[in-house]
């Protein structure tokens, strides 16, 4: 009997199985195309195993409100074919096992909380900074959700004094994602971030926005650990800049753990979300 995990990303799906929670025993990666084509390959992988439960962490927005008529669906995504797709329903129709359902970043947060960088902590926030920006939180050992799931990438931020870029978000223009996600860096500077590694001003501006976000999350959630992942955070020179700006902006208003250890990269690397899905599967109830 296996636990099954699906990390459903906008670019690819990662499917995995385990008999012991966090330990991945087999996995596959599937390009995200149409729902029908993608799920055909998902089913081909899982049909080889006897599943006892599953965990899904999906790109969003998704409906996590169990009282909603569209619970289990991906909702207002711009990704063609996936809008208001009953993802959870399709999986449960195929396998009819208890299935945990949350966002991919919530799954990452839970993976790091249970088996990664925040394993010895009581709470954490996981922020992914890549093509978009999304965040998940674990508080008192539970994934944080309310009427819906957090949309941490769309908080409003103050503009850097030297930044004239108008923003890239189609909903809010100059929100955090609009100013600090990978496409914003490329459109602001005319090159992708990996070609700008030596340009200190680029990363000073980036750190300014990300540190603002961490200060806001601190004042609302007071987490013990911030874990920053995603493609943009492969530029590891960002971490000291973010810590420095975080301390400046917070200005000792509240006590926090030492930012040098509080603000960190994921211990599980790119496996944070799929690990979180396996752990959620192990706890899933009918």
Considering the entire predicted model, what is its pTM? 0.96
User: Which residues have a Cβ under 8 Å from the Cβ of 107 and sit 6 or more positions away?
Assistant: 7, 55, 57, 136, 272, 273, 274, 276, 277, 280
Mean pLDDT of the chain: 96
Residue 20: pLDDT band by 50, 70, 90 thresholds? Answer: confident
pLDDT of residue 91: 98
Domains and CATH numbers, the chain: 2-104 (3.30.420.40), 117-264 (3.30.420.40)
**For 21, left (φ over 0), alpha (ψ -120 to 50), or beta?**
left
| Three-state DSSP state, 104 | helix
Q: Once rounded to an integer, what is the mean pLDDT over residues 248-267?
A: 98
What are 33-66's pLDDT values in tens digits?
999 999 999 999 999 999 999 999 999 999 999 9
What is the structure's pLDDT at 21?
72
Hey, what are 57's tokens?
């962490």
Calculate mean pLDDT across residues 105-128: 97
Q: By the 8 A CB rule, do 66 and 35 touch?
A: no
The 10s digit of each residue's pLDDT in 212-237 is: 999 999 999 999 999 999 999 999 99
Q: Could you list the beta-strand ranges (E) of 12-108.
A: 12-18, 26-31, 51-58, 99-103
Residue 137: what are its φ and ψ, rounded to 5°? -140, 150
């Amino acid at each position: 009997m296996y636990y099954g995990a699906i990390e459903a990303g906008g670019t690819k799906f990662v499917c995995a199985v385990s008999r012991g929670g966090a330990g991945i025993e087999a996995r596959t990666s599937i390009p995200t195309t149409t729902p029908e084509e993608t799920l055909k390959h998902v089913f081909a992988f899982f049909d080889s195993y006897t599943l006892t439960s599953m965990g899904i962490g999906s790109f969003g927005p998704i409906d996590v409100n169990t009282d909603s008529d569209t619970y289990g669906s991906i909702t207002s995504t711009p990704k063609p074919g996936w809008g208001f797709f009953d993802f959870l329903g399709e999986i449960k129709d195929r396998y009819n096992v208890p299935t945990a359902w949350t966002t991919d970043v919530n799954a990452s947060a839970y993976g790091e909380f249970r088996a990664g960088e925040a394993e010895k902590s009581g709470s954490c926030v996981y922020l992914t900074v890549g093509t978009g920006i999304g965040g998940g939180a674990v508080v008192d050992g539970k994934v944080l959700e309310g009427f819906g799931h957090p949309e941490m990438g769309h908080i409003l931020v103050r503009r850097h004094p030297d930044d004239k870029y108008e923003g890239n978000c189609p909903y809010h223009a100059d929100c955090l994602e609009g100013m600090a996600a990978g496409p914003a860096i490329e459109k602001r500077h005319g090159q992708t971030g990996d070609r700008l590694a030596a340009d200190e001003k680029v990363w000073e501006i980036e750190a300014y926005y990300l540190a603002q976000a961490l200060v806001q999350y601190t004042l609302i959630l007071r987490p013990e650990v911030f874990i920053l992942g995603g493609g943009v955070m492969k530029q590891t020179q960002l971490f000291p800049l973010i810590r420095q700006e975080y301390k400046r902006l917070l200005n000792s208003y509240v006590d926090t753990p030492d930012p040098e250890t509080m603000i960190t990269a994921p211990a599980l690397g790119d496996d944070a979300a799929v690990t979180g899905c396996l752990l959620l599967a192990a706890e899933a109830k009918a």
